[in-house]
Amino acid sequence: MNLKSEKYTQLIKAEAKRLGFFACGISKARFLEEEVGHLETWLKNHFNGEMSYMENHFDKRLNPQLLVPDAKSVISLLFNYYPKELQKHKDAPIISKYAYGEDYHFVLKDKMRELMYFIKTEIGEVEGRVFTDSAPVSDKKWAELSGIAWRGKHSNMLTKQGSFFFIGELIVDLALDYDTPMNSYCGTCTRCIDACPTQAITEPYVVDARKCISYLTIEFKDNLPEDLKDNFQNRVFGCDICQDVCPYNSKPLFHNEERFLPHPDFLEMSKDEWADITEDVFRKLFKKSAVKRTKFTGLKRNLDFIK
């Protein structure tokens, strides 16, 4: 065992915990040969819908050394986001829990940049980059290889503390101690598959985005498919159904991140207030939220669709 790499690994994991990440695991940076066939098949079946960016930078998505020259380690991080308070009115249009507060891309990147600064300050000349769901990186696979989560049958990553977390990673040219992949604990359970109202989970671990409520309410820009109108279950931005029914989410791990707290008026909005929402109210409620991705026109489209 290399004493330096062991020391550096312990330092990094301790700092990640201090910054609020509830899990940190490390895997060896390498070409993900085993992912090639899965990604090719998924794209060939057009399960990415209009997310054409999934077809770009195919090689970079599988090889971290194309993103960071001489990359040696992928530091995977999990940050939970389950809110202590949910929307008050049961009949109000539903926003996915991940979008209640400030856009996670900004929050996580700020924290990961702090971790990168810590590594350079405490260890020395280390080159690396931070990523969270906004670059061609196989976040889920790296989280699996780092031993901090396993892939659920809904294709989201899972831990025994649930699945309501964001994934981020640092790819660095520093050799560290590597963790072993986590076992899957889904067993024979199929609750997520059975609960999906649009049958978007075509088989365990495979999601057809073209049927996924989350994709349709956020990424899809055309008219929503009328044949799925009765299946949206009041969702207007994202969808948590497959996660809500998971036994591992029965006792969710609440976040303590102030930047994830929603505008207080948002939680109180009634069905009628949602129906009458104006662009000014939209901007006030979701000033820094990921909901801005769909724009006011997109949210209005979604609201009109579920009437």
Return the pLDDT at 6: 93
Return the pLDDT at 42: 64
- Encode the chain (307 residues) as per-residue pLDDT tens digits: 577 899 999 999 999 999 999 999 999 999 888 776 676 676 666 555 655 555 555 677 788 998 999 999 999 999 999 999 999 999 999 999 999 999 999 999 999 999 999 999 999 999 999 999 877 788 999 999 999 999 999 999 999 999 999 999 999 999 999 999 999 999 999 999 999 999 999 999 999 989 999 999 999 999 999 999 999 999 999 999 999 999 999 999 999 999 999 999 999 999 999 999 999 999 999 999 999 999 999 999 999 999 8
Phi, psi of 136 (to 5 degrees): -70, 75
| Residues that are catalytic | 133
- Using a cut of 0.75, tell me whether the model's pTM lies above it: yes
